Amino acid sequence: MIWESWNAFLEMGGAAQFVWGSYGVTVLLIVAELVLLRSRRVHSTRRLSRLIRAGQGRKLPEVQGS
Amino acid sequence: MSTSESRFNLYHYAAPQAFYPVAGKLAPVFAVIALVLTTVGLWISFFKAPTDAVQGEVYRIIFIHVPAAWMSMFVFLVMAFWSAIGLAMNTRLSALMAQALAPTGAMFCFVALWTGALWGRPTWGAYWVWDARLTSQLLLLFLYLGYMALVAAIDDPRRRDKAGAILCLVGAVNVPIIYFSVKWWNTLHQGASVSLTKAPSMATIMLSGMLVMAFAAWAYTIAVALYRVRVLILERERHADWVRGELARLGEAN
């Protein structure tokens, strides 16, 4: 173990805001991407199912975004 | 014999309908690999890699900064590869693969810039400088965002695929510029510590942490792109009977 205590670990030798700012934002972005991807899948499948049920499957406008 | 079989398979899986279930099987495998590698990588990064003699603890940013920067460049090259295939062979799936990769590539590109800024402040005294490496990396972010905006703005799928592919191929020129910028120009950003041509100039344990994190980023990108391309396939192929069947199946599951 290279850290003397959990506090020393959290303080990162005085560079806490830089190190945790880097790791924190990365984790946030990854979580955001996964949440957005999931919600897109749910919305997309619901919308397509609805349109197919309505019998207009061949007339629907293009789905936007990526 | 084996050549003709593998060629047959490749063409077979170039059809969205054939690739959709394959992507569904592969995605969770890569997700698990990504999770395991991230755990190991973070363990090495924070508990195995020693304090840096010069920089102290702040150097630990390297374990996400470098893999994210590599990934942001690599993903754009892969998008350009799929774009070229799509333009040459007129396969729908190639363009969908490029479109599925773009948001993840953009995310890693932003992470590289963000962590670079937070690393630059304590070591250089500035969050940002307009040197060749940083500027070309910022341009890469704009290329990603431009690609996503372009693809989202065009309604006709064929035109969308083609326009996106051309932007990708032209934009890919920027990737070698980023990579070699530290050699071609006198940059504040340091040169490569790891390259294919010479022995890495860093401690083995630090290098291994960085490589494990890089492989984790690869596995994550593959997993997310496969999940995303499945949604794109359903949207693009919605007139096909198999998609109706799949949507009915998903509807029952929900």
Predicted confidence (pLDDT) per residue in A5-51, tens digit: 999 999 999 899 999 999 999 999 999 999 999 999 999 999 999 88
Q: Do B227 and A41 touch (CB under 8 A)?
A: yes
> For testing the chain A interface, which of B118, B145, B206 should be mutated: the one with the most A CBs within 10 Å?
B118
Q: Do A22 and B119 touch (CB under 8 A)?
A: yes
Q: Tens digit of pLDDT per residue, chain B (254 long)?
A: 444 455 556 677 788 999 999 999 999 999 999 999 999 999 999 999 988 888 999 999 999 999 999 999 999 999 999 999 999 998 899 999 999 999 999 999 999 999 999 999 999 999 999 999 999 999 999 999 999 999 999 999 999 999 999 999 999 999 999 999 988 888 888 887 777 667 677 788 999 999 999 999 999 999 999 999 999 999 999 889 999 999 988 877 65
Q: Do B152 and A64 touch (CB under 8 A)?
A: yes
**Cα–Cα nearest to B107, from A66, A30, A31, A40:** A30
What pLDDT, on the 0 to 100 scale, is given for residue B1? Answer: 42
What pLDDT, on the 0 to 100 scale, is given for residue B188? Answer: 85
What pLDDT, on the 0 to 100 scale, is given for residue B194? Answer: 75
* Residues paired with B52 in a beta bridge: B56
**Cα–Cα nearest to B60, from B51, B68, B72, B70:** B51
- First-to-last CA distance in chain B? 44
Tokens standing for residue B131 = 């040197």
| DSSP H or E run through B246 | helix B241-253
Q: Nearest-CA distance from B30 to chain A in Å? A: 14
**Sequence spans of domains, chain B:** 26-247
CB pairs under 8 A between A and B: 112
* Residues paired with B15 in a beta bridge: none
Minimal Cβ distance to A45: which of B60, B107, B247: B247
**Sequence spans of domains, chain A:** 26-50
Q: Nearest-CA distance from B118 to chain A in Å? A: 5
Write the ipTM.
Answer: 0.89
Partners of residue A58 in chain B, C-beta under 8 Å: 239
CB A2 within 8 A of CB B50: yes
What pLDDT, on the 0 to 100 scale, is given for residue A40? Answer: 95
Q: How many CB atoms lie within 10 A of CB B69?
A: 23
Strands (E), chain A: none
